[in-house]
Structure 1
Amino acid sequence: MVSERPWLASYPPGIPAEVDVDKYPSIVAVLEETCRQYAERPAFSNFGKRLSYADVDRLSARFASYLLHELKLKKGDRVALMMPNILQYPIAIFGVLRAGLTVVNTNPMYTARELKHQLVDSGAAAIVVLENFAHVVQQVLADTRLQQVLVTGVGDMLGFPRGPVVNFVLRHVRRQVPEYSLPGSIRFNEALHLGERHELPALDIRGHDIAFLQYTGGTTGVAKGAMLTHRNLVANMQQASVWIGTNARMGEETIVTALPLYHIFALTANCLVFMKFGGLNHLITNPRDMKGFVAELRKIRFTAITGVNTLFNGLLNTPGFEKVDFSGLHLTLGGGMAVQRAVAERWKKVTGCTLVEAYGLTETSPAACINPMDLPDYNGSIGLPISSTDACIKGENGEKLPAGEVGELCIKGPQVMAGYWNRPEETAKVIDSEGWLHTGDMAKMDEKGFFYIVDRKKDMILVSGFNVYPNEVEDVIALMPGVLEVAAVGVPDERSGEAVKVVIVRRDGNLTAEDVKAFCRDKLTGYKQPKFVEFRTELPKSNVGKILRRELREAAAQA
């Protein structure tokens, strides 16, 4: 008889089949234990400034007190965070959670249209925004339920004199802070000062309480808030901790956090899991500046780094990276998009550390499968289902398929979301009656229980680890008067894995590719904007008039 969980026989020594996902009632309980145990250890660093766990404990408590006592927010209210990786971010995350509220992570690069959707859909009561993006909040404020806007600057937590200098340079030399007007807004540091006047009450935060509304397109265009509960995240912290615990040392790790904390990968793997380990998160604010990123890496001795394929590829192709000190590096975790063999092999050659691939989704908090930490070399697999997790391959009719056959990858475990915020119909589309989450990814499992992604079931485009949904791109471009029809597809791209290509049938013969790109720059975040624009006289369609994106992808691949 074939084992129902063949992957257990492939588990590395010391990895249990099940973990205690209810050891802690909430993320807050994990944080408070860590802050007691590692009070003097550095927790987060950025621009040369370090915060200890005692600092994080003190400052997040102040922010929680501000939210409860000054804003009078009630348990379950939502607070949006719109920042890159700066020290204010973890303080805000933990402050919101300690107040019994829900974090709504928001991409700071969102256009006004995208931000408005997320703020209206979540019903956020407050937002913390980096001043560089405050002008976007200004544009949508009147259409939201926001009661308070808190503004902060990159340098606000860096102390004197560095903080004021950094803020001055960004505002007046680099001119990276557009003018904005937000009457009634206050500075983040002022909120911390106001919160200091109050005691943080003991709150009963339970596992079923929603910790994060993490927005994702799932398998369709409109962004939906995945309800990730405290139990979901605690479970994934416990699961990931035992998995990487064979390769990580409590109180001794320094992890490079270049992926943004608003992305579920960095949020859980870096901010939460390494917090549980008493590790130091070294925050990279602008990883797109590869030259500056490498210069930063040369200043520190790090033990771990996470990233997407494009980030690793970018580092490998930046002069000076080979001179970084890799003597402490023993954990490199890749996810968010497929890791390419060429990149993984070159990473191992340059750093001496295997690039271990993992797999997850926003809807699974995110870790579902991880390769063994003692993997000698890249193996092309997304790994084994982690402890307390079941996975299977299902056919078109919902039947489980045997090893070697390709079907849809389905996941079941305590890390699977509670559902999509206010969208029960969408939830029912992805979580079946037996509790299986249908990922939309086509995959296969080998005899040893290793899973391999074969293709995506849907037309979703993956740009540098971020989901781009053709429907959204098409809906925006269709607003152009000169466009008759449009289809968006993903095409291979060396830098970002995939890039967006749009194929357009013109209504106005004078419409140019640059016209289309300029229109999209104002309506879509950078990674969603089309890199390629093609004009045709007609689009391929099925007999019922449905545009056949598959044919467009195949034509682009052949070209």
Structure 2
Amino acid sequence: MGIDAGFVGATLTDWAVEQPDSVALHCQQRSIRWADLHRQVEHLAACLFRECGDHRAIALDLADPLRLVVAFLAVGRSGNRALVLDTAWPDAQRDEIERQTMPDLVLNTALFDQWLAATGQAGLAVPKPTADQPFYVGFTSGSTGMPKGYRRSHASWLASFDVSRALFALQPGDCVMAPGSLATSLHLYGVIQALHAGIGVVLVPQFRPRSVLQAIEEQGVTALYGTPTQIKLLLHSAERYAIAPAHTVRHLIISGAKWPDDTRQALRQPFPNAELTEFYGTSEMSFIALHNEQSRAPVGSVGRAVPGVEVRIGASASTPLATGERGRIWVRSALVFDGYECGGGDEIARDGDWLTVGDHGYLDKEGFLYLVGREKRMIVSSGLNLYPEEVEAWLVQHPAVTQAALLGVPDELRGYRIVAVIQTDETNVLTDSLRQHCRHRFPASQLPKDWYFLEHWPLTNSGKTDFVALERWLRVVQAGIGPDKAIPS
């Protein structure tokens, strides 16, 4: 079996022969079997190659996850690169992305259906792409601004597939679900890696926790990819609706933020047989560090570097800092991206073979990596550098807090004044309790000066906090025209 074939999706030919009538993709009442998946991908790839040739940018404007997966694989097979557009983007944001990327073709639902129904493509020979060709352009969540378009080659994802196969122990017979928008790299990667390995996939059109839990039970899902926010919502829904435990789930693969250390046991109620694997990575660098039940990391750590990945800390990769000192996180591996199709920023830098995306952290003497925050979110208040992520992670450990964000508000005296925005399930949570909780871990200079409470927490489509929306809401509240509550210290 050619698992390590030269392009993503090359193994569909083998799976179409070995398990032609087994279900490859299932979404609600629709299914695609392996033989049909291979046929549709080859047919659509021929249409794309006839229309565009290769080495072109093909934008995918497809809300239906079944169509999106087929189209994504077909674009890669045709030797082109798929720009996976988020159909939930506002019109202005989408127009700006298209202006910056200038795709050669936009493949929408009407064109997809027209081409899939067309005949006469069987005799067209489509050259196989090479491993170094870019095949995917994804877009960051835009949680702190306009999304950046990052470009990945077949080789970088194939190298990541090797890591997944070694660390997640998934194999044919498993059933994978990544219940989120396929416009985000975590969910799309989980789906495509499974198909490349001959593993069936269950898709959901939208992330609705109760429906997701029902689909897990009905389809016998064994492996679940998700962000911490998504998994928390599943926990809450299972408890609220008294949904029976999902005994089939054996793997919970979590990324996007740190899972709270003191709530790991809560996973046992809805997923009693699941092993939790957490990994830290970025869209540009794929896997960086990982820990699971066998390699438990110390509290606060995201684990050790995955096999084949090197990590250094410092202002540059060539001048690494001593153990325990904080600085930029630099990574060297075969998993990293090629570059940006659009966007980027000063926080992204290369030092020879090393890459940083502006995350900051430190390594302990055992090689465990700790994150302290992102360069782009760092707040300078009274001359001191504050990484909001550290305080946010500690605040959500408070029993009354479900979500937390720290923001910097311009201040004539301090430069920036630190404020906290909190979501809580309790009606009478006291700010004194939250302040005292923070004082256990942080000096007074890092404590929020004002506390705001928000009922409906804004999230991006990838399940992360939408900081742009939070800042917009905060400006409205501070102007005195918002309904939510603010408590100054």
TM-score using structure 1 length: 0.65
3-state SS in 1 of match to 2:72:
helix
CA positional deviation for 1:305: 0.5
Distance in structure 2 (CA, Å) of the matches to 1:238 and 1:108: 31
1:257 and 2:257 aligned: no
After the TM superposition, which residues 311-326 of structure 1 pair with which residues of structure 2 at under 5 Å, given as runs? 311-319=230-238, 323-326=243-246
* Higher mean C-alpha deviation, range 26-35 or range 307-316: 26-35
3-state SS in 2 of match to 1:351:
coil
Distance in structure 2 (CA, Å) of the matches to 1:427 and 1:290: 35
CA positional deviation for 1:40: 3.2
Q: Deviations over 1:402-421 (max 9, x none)?
A: 33222222111111111112
Aligned partners of 1:348 and 1:355 also within 8 Å: no
Counterpart code for 1:441 = D
After the TM superposition, which residues 102-113 of structure 1 pair with which residues of structure 2 at under 5 Å, given as runs? 102-113=81-92
Which structure 2 segments of 5+ residues have no match? 379-387, 393-404, 411-415, 426-455, 480-485
Partner of 1:454: 372
Partner of 2:212: 293
1:329 and 2:253 aligned: no
Partner of 1:306: 225
* Higher mean C-alpha deviation, range 377-386 or range 118-127: 377-386
Query: Per the alignment, do residues 292 and 216 of structure 1 end up closer, same or farther by CA in structure 2, a change over 3 Å counting?
Result: closer
Counterpart code for 1:430 = I
Aligned partners of 2:7 and 2:158 also within 8 Å: yes
Distance in structure 2 (CA, Å) of the matches to 1:297 and 1:252: 15
1:224 to 130, 133, 148: 148
Query: Per the alignment, do residues 326 and 189 of structure 1 end up closer, same or farther by CA in structure 2, a change over 3 Å counting?
Result: same
Query: Per the alignment, do residues 300 and 374 of structure 1 end up closer, same or farther by CA in structure 2, a change over 3 Å counting?
Result: farther
1:99 to 68, 74, 78: 78
Distance in structure 1 (CA, Å) of the matches to 2:238 and 2:477: 38
1:127 and 2:106 aligned: yes
Q: Deviations over 1:14-38 (max 9, x none)?
A: xxxxxxx994322142443444444
1:401 and 2:380 aligned: no
Distance in structure 1 (CA, Å) of the matches to 2:420 and 2:174: 38
Distance in structure 1 (CA, Å) of the matches to 2:487 and 2:320: 32
Higher strand share: 2
Counterpart code for 1:301 = G
Counterpart code for 1:369 = A
Distance in structure 1 (CA, Å) of the matches to 2:339 and 2:305: 21
Distance in structure 1 (CA, Å) of the matches to 2:24 and 2:42: 16
Partner of 1:282: 202
1:272 to 192, 201, 226: 192
Counterpart code for 2:162 = Q
Distance in structure 1 (CA, Å) of the matches to 2:266 and 2:235: 8
Query: Per the alignment, do residues 200 and 251 of structure 1 end up closer, same or farther by CA in structure 2, a change over 3 Å counting?
Result: farther
Distance in structure 2 (CA, Å) of the matches to 1:402 and 1:32: 50
CA positional deviation for 1:296: 2.6
Aligned partners of 2:238 and 2:244 also within 8 Å: no
Q: Deviations over 1:209-255 (max 9, x none)?
A: 1111122379984433211111111111112221212xx2x211111
Aligned partners of 2:318 and 2:351 also within 8 Å: no
- RCO higher in 1 or 2 (8 Å CA, sep ≥ 6)? 1
Aligned partners of 1:85 and 1:283 also within 8 Å: no
* Higher mean C-alpha deviation, range 325-334 or range 54-63: 325-334
3-state SS in 2 of match to 1:259:
coil
What is the aligned length?
A: 412
Aligned partners of 2:216 and 2:246 also within 8 Å: no
Aligned partners of 1:344 and 1:378 also within 8 Å: no
Aligned partners of 2:362 and 2:371 also within 8 Å: yes
1:418 to 334, 338, 347: 338
Q: Deviations over 1:432-479 (max 9, x none)?
A: 23222113222222232221212222218999xxxx9x99xx9xxxxx
Which structure 1 segments of 5+ residues have no match? 1-20, 129-149, 152-185, 475-485, 496-516, 538-555
CA positional deviation for 1:494: 5.8
Partner of 1:32: 13
Query: Per the alignment, do residues 232 and 200 of structure 1 end up closer, same or farther by CA in structure 2, a change over 3 Å counting?
Result: farther
1:233 to 129, 152, 157: 157
Query: Per the alignment, do residues 536 and 244 of structure 1 end up closer, same or farther by CA in structure 2, a change over 3 Å counting?
Result: closer
Q: Deviations over 1:280-325 (max 9, x none)?
A: 11111111x3233333333232111011111111111114665344
Query: Per the alignment, do residues 195 and 65 of structure 1 end up closer, same or farther by CA in structure 2, a change over 3 Å counting?
Result: farther
Counterpart code for 1:452 = Y
CA positional deviation for 1:344: 2.9
Q: Deviations over 1:499-518 (max 9, x none)?
A: xxxxxxxxxxxxxxxxxx9x
CA positional deviation for 1:67: 1.7
1:59 and 2:30 aligned: no
3-state SS in 2 of match to 1:205:
coil
1:188 and 2:106 aligned: no
Aligned partners of 2:42 and 2:74 also within 8 Å: yes
1:78 and 2:57 aligned: yes
Partner of 1:443: 361
Aligned partners of 2:84 and 2:137 also within 8 Å: yes
1:201 and 2:125 aligned: yes
CA positional deviation for 1:115: 0.5
3-state SS in 2 of match to 1:368:
strand
Partner of 1:87: 66
2:168 to 234, 239, 244: 244
2:22 to 41, 57, 71: 41
3-state SS in 2 of match to 1:447:
coil
Q: Deviations over 1:89-112 (max 9, x none)?
A: 111111111111110011111011
3-state SS in 2 of match to 1:117:
helix
Counterpart code for 1:326 = A
CA positional deviation for 1:490: 7.8
Query: Per the alignment, do residues 455 and 334 of structure 1 end up closer, same or farther by CA in structure 2, a change over 3 Å counting?
Result: same
Q: Deviations over 1:51-70 (max 9, x none)?
A: 1221110111121122222x
1:116 and 2:116 aligned: no
Distance in structure 2 (CA, Å) of the matches to 1:253 and 1:231: 25
3-state SS in 1 of match to 2:54:
coil
Query: Per the alignment, do residues 411 and 38 of structure 1 end up closer, same or farther by CA in structure 2, a change over 3 Å counting?
Result: farther
Aligned partners of 1:79 and 1:101 also within 8 Å: yes
Distance in structure 2 (CA, Å) of the matches to 1:226 and 1:414: 16
Query: Per the alignment, do residues 447 and 534 of structure 1 end up closer, same or farther by CA in structure 2, a change over 3 Å counting?
Result: same
3-state SS in 1 of match to 2:24:
strand
Query: Per the alignment, do residues 489 and 223 of structure 1 end up closer, same or farther by CA in structure 2, a change over 3 Å counting?
Result: farther
3-state SS in 2 of match to 1:455:
strand
Distance in structure 1 (CA, Å) of the matches to 2:317 and 2:305: 23
3-state SS in 2 of match to 1:421:
strand
Distance in structure 1 (CA, Å) of the matches to 2:271 and 2:373: 30
